[in-house]
A = this chain, B = another copy of it.
Amino acid sequence: MTDDAYDDAKLEIADAMARTAEMYGLNRSYGHIYGLLYFVGEPMSLDELVAESGYAKSTVSNAMSALEPYHLVHRQSSPGEGRKVYFEAETDFWTIMQEFFEQQGRREIRIMTRALETAQASLDDAPETDRTSHASARVAELEAFYDQAETLLSFFTRASPEVLFDVVSEVESRTVDDEP
């Protein structure tokens, strides 16, 4: 039971990470590999990860390349060990989350605002009818929404967790005070 209990725990975490990764649009198995790396806690080489995970080396290599841009893993090469690289799991989940939502949010905002500008321009060119003015209103609504979204996004991706918690507990107590 000695190794097994440890391995059970490891696989439990890796599996949960796999499912979570999927929710974020990342590859299931990349989440699994990240979970192993996170659980073990110390830097591992590609070959160690292969042994640990059972995936092919190419898969693990691709996983690392995919996880790096999100800063979920860090690459470390130690001198005197040739080309060998070690990977370490990032453990600061707040930063990971903030970066993720920053990236995704910015992308969405960019896509939508560009489209909204173009659409607005088209509608302005068209002769005004019921349809076009209705559509213009919709476009304007969306523009307003994304303006607001950008403000909130900037705040939440820049604020420290401490500030966020202060704010929440403050507002929460404020609300309680307002109750009859």
Contact = CB atoms under 8 A, between A and B. Distances in A.
Nearest to A169: B151
The size class of the interface chain A forms with chain B is 35 or more
Query: Oligomeric state, in number of copies?
Result: 2
A111 B19 contact: yes
Given A2-B126, A125-B1, A112 B20 contact: yes
Contacts of A142: 13, 93
Given A5-B125, A108-B23, A13 B119 contact: yes
A106 to B, nearest CB: 11
Interface string A3-29: 001101110110110011001010000
Residue from the set A9, A132, A135 with the largest chain B CB neighbour count within 10 Å: A9
A65 interface: no
Given A15-B115, A23-B107, A155-B171, A123 B6 contact: yes
Contact of A16 (B5, B104, B115): B115
A112 B97 CA distance: 15
A164 interface: yes
Contacts of A132: 5-6
Contacts of A116: 13, 16
- Per DSSP, are chain A's interface residues mostly helix, strand or loop, or mixed? helix
Interface of A: 1-2, 5-6, 8-10, 12-13, 15-16, 19-20, 23, 25, 38-41, 91, 93-94, 97, 104, 107-108, 111-112, 114-116, 118-120, 122-123, 125-127, 131-132, 134-135, 138-139, 141-142, 145, 148-149, 151-152, 155, 159, 161, 163-165, 167-168, 171-172
